[in-house]
A and B are shown apart, each in its own frame.
Chain A
Amino acid sequence: MDLANLIELAETERASRKKFALRCCMAAGCMSLNSGATKAALEQAVRDAGLEQDVEVRGVGCMRLCCQGPLVQADPDGALFEKVEATDAASVVGTIKGGETEVRRGNPDHPFFKHQLPIVLANSGRVDPDRIESYIAEEGYQALHSAMFDMTPKAVVETIVKSGLRGRGGAGYPTGLKWATVAQTPGEKKYIICNADEGDPGAFMDRSVLESDPHAVLEGMAIAAYAVGADQGFIYVRAEYPLAISRLQNAIKQAKKLGLLGSGVFESPFNFNIDLRIGAGAFVCGEETALMASVEGRRGTPRPRPPFPAESGLWECPTLINNVETFANVATIVRKGADWFAGIGTEKSKGTKVFALAGKITNTGLIEVPMGTPLRQIVEEMGGGAPGGTKIKAVQTGGPSGGCIPAEYLDTPVDYESLTKLGSIMGSGGMIVMDETTNMVDVARYFMDFCRDESCGKCIPCRAGTVQMHGLLTRIMDRKATARDLSQLEDLCDMVKHTSLCGLGQTAPNPVISTLRYFRREYEERLKPDPFAPAANGSAVKPTTGTT
């Protein structure tokens, strides 16, 4: 395989496309609504109508508006059909020849779609994730070629540095800096890891990217491997994502067959193998040192840093760990240039971010917007606000490590710094909308229950602290707590935050801290009078032992 072969393959694929196409979503959201049957019925309907010459039915990745699935979109006119059942297939196919259908038509010009700027999701909903040719037709693997043959590894790292790309896994560490550290660290053997252990409940961006455009992630990893001098990669993906796993396996096999991965990439001396590692349901494995322990087949417990993985990671070798979405940005940056990418977004947060919109909101699904987009635009215009005319109370970002942003701050632009200032975090991209019926103390307890369950047990502040905080939150919920309990909860939050070993413990108190900051009244309303509180005349009751 060389560049000429690659371009030829892309042209053959483009030339083989038919005049009309019906793209049917085959990502997990629509699949759970039985889009598999819809696709089969569409294929049958095309045959029945004798339109095989003109119409192609293509299974594609996520088309984003998950709440209206199964989704079908027609090319070239872009007509969008919602909730397409197998029985609707004939009439949908009929529309190509000007027929009528009773299927609800979606509006591709709705703000939900209009305000999106797809980079990571550019191919999602368009290419067939099961066929590498479909990806190659969209200039796939050309960025890898130009990185390998037109650029030095150093130049690739510099491009990423200049682009301003930051880690999309949540913390927002500058990606280029990480690459440069791994590249500079001496070592015979280096590793690349793609963190696809998307553990935050309520987040499904990475799953969608892997299911919709697996090759974009593979290409990004290969470019990274070339840049830092690695020859082995791992993708650590959750066992809960069987569809993503099978698409990745298939994609790796196809790329190897064409000589785009494996030994001698593009017939050069550069080798790069990618293996899958399947997680086994431990949230803490999203933390990089725990993840590496898990890749090595051990219990997923974190270790103190430094040394950072960039210096001593998998089997003590320099290791580059990036998130799925980070890798998915890389090929486009190399292809379109660092300046192009740096022109999108805000001063400190470049590019776009994919969010999973869910919860009490009309339009649930995936969105990709430029950094700095106001939260209000996302939630009200794109998301269509809360259903049933209720009022939005808060938006939760960052999962169990993040916080709740109250409705009065909806005009905040979404970027790393602004969200941190509000006591939340960007996180991996889960965005859960809560309306007036949601009890914020219960939300805090829900996340604490999660962290308590997922704490690996290695360090005491997290192991014991989360249990105690959960107990206190339950007491508050049950109206059995006093003001002392509340102040103890605050002390514990502070202690666990500052003394835990890894990110799980350090961020576990965040949901409590942020709800206390904005919704303190909800906590206080549930308190009962403290029998040991100072009496009205000022003389304190003698403290008794065992009150804590």
Chain B
Amino acid sequence: MLQHASGDKRFKILDTHMKRHQFRADALIEVLHKAQELFGYLEDGLLIYVAHALKLPPSRVYGVATFYHFFTLKPKGAHTCVVCTGTACYVKGAQGVLSAAEAQAGIKAGETTPDNQVSLLTARCIGACGVAPAVVYDGTVAVRQTPELAVEKVKGWMGHGSR
């Protein structure tokens, strides 16, 4: 079996996962999910490693990794703020929540603050439409958000940074 030179344990976990899928090419998306779960994001070396293991051209792996929104090729910040922009949230004012968070963090959606503290993202409906607008702070869904609540949360995170 392929061994990663770094000796990083996470590669071993990834190897086990790929083995469970018998290194089949059609498991590529499952493998990339696991890789992102382990490493946080998909850097080039990791993609090449997966390409080798599944006997796929790197272009195919890169093509898949960049096609799907869920995969990210850049590291995320220490905290993530995902504003749902589904229709129900939109009708209930998600745009205002997003703009307020953007202004507070000084970045646009999809970016990370320079001190790597906060990543601001949007999601296409997380299914919490009954309690819109929803924002996911560090993986926890918060319901009925207002611009003020979002600003407060982001401000709290930024306080921990170097600034």
Contact = CB atoms under 8 A, between A and B. Distances in A.
B68 A198 contact: no
Interface stretch (B27-35, B96-104, B152-160): B27-35
B78 interface: no
Interface in B1-60: 24-30, 32-33, 60
B67 A202 contact: no
B126 to A, nearest CB: 5
A403 interface: no
Interface string B72-89: 000000000000011110
B70 to A, nearest CB: 4
B122 to A, nearest CB: 10
B146 to A, nearest CB: 16
B124 A281 contact: yes
Interface string A413-450: 00000000000000000101110001000000011001
In this complex, the member of A200, A239, A297, A365 whose beta carbon has the largest number of chain B beta carbons within 10 angstroms is: A297
Contact of A297 (B25, B88, B124, B134): B25
Interface in A66-98: 66-67, 69
Nearest to B140: A32
A399 B63 CA distance: 28
Contacts, number: 136
B87 A399 contact: yes
A297 B64 contact: yes
Contacts of A438: 91
A301 to B, nearest CB: 8
A33 B127 contact: no
A299 B86 CA distance: 24
Nearest to A284: B67
A96 B129 CA distance: 33
Given A202-B86, A240-B126, A359-B92, A297 B131 contact: no
B30 A32 contact: no
Contacts of B143: 32-33
Contacts of A31: 141
B70 A280 contact: yes
Contacts of A33: 131, 143
Contacts of A359: 87-88, 91-92, 132
Contacts of B129: 66, 202-204, 356, 358, 364, 430
Given A199-B124, A280-B69, A300-B67, A29 B30 contact: no
A32 B123 contact: no
A361 to B, nearest CB: 10
B125 interface: yes
Interface in A294-319: 294-300
A283 B124 contact: yes
B76 to A, nearest CB: 15
B107 interface: no
Contacts of B88: 201-202, 358-359, 364, 432
B19 to A, nearest CB: 16
B130 A29 contact: yes
Contacts of B131: 29, 32-33, 66-67, 69, 364
A28 to B, nearest CB: 6
B124 A360 contact: no
A296 B124 contact: no
A190 interface: no
Contacts of A365: 130
A213 to B, nearest CB: 16
B127 A240 contact: yes
A204 B125 CA distance: 9
B29 A294 contact: yes
Given A29-B130, A199-B125, 13 more contacts: A29-B128, A32-B131, A32-B141, A200-B125, A201-B88, A201-B124, A202-B125, A204-B130, A207-B127, A240-B125, A297-B25, A364-B130, A432-B91
26 contacts: A32-B128, A32-B134, A33-B131, A33-B143, A198-B127, A201-B86, A239-B33, A239-B70, A240-B123, A240-B126, A277-B30, A279-B68, A280-B33, A280-B70, A282-B67, A297-B24, A297-B25, A297-B26, A297-B28, A297-B29, A297-B30, A299-B63, A299-B64, A356-B130, A364-B129, A364-B130
Closest 7 CB pairs of A and B: A66-B130, A202-B87, A280-B68, A201-B86, A281-B69, A358-B88, A32-B141
Interface of B: 24-30, 32-33, 60, 63-64, 67-71, 85-88, 90-92, 123-132, 134, 141-143
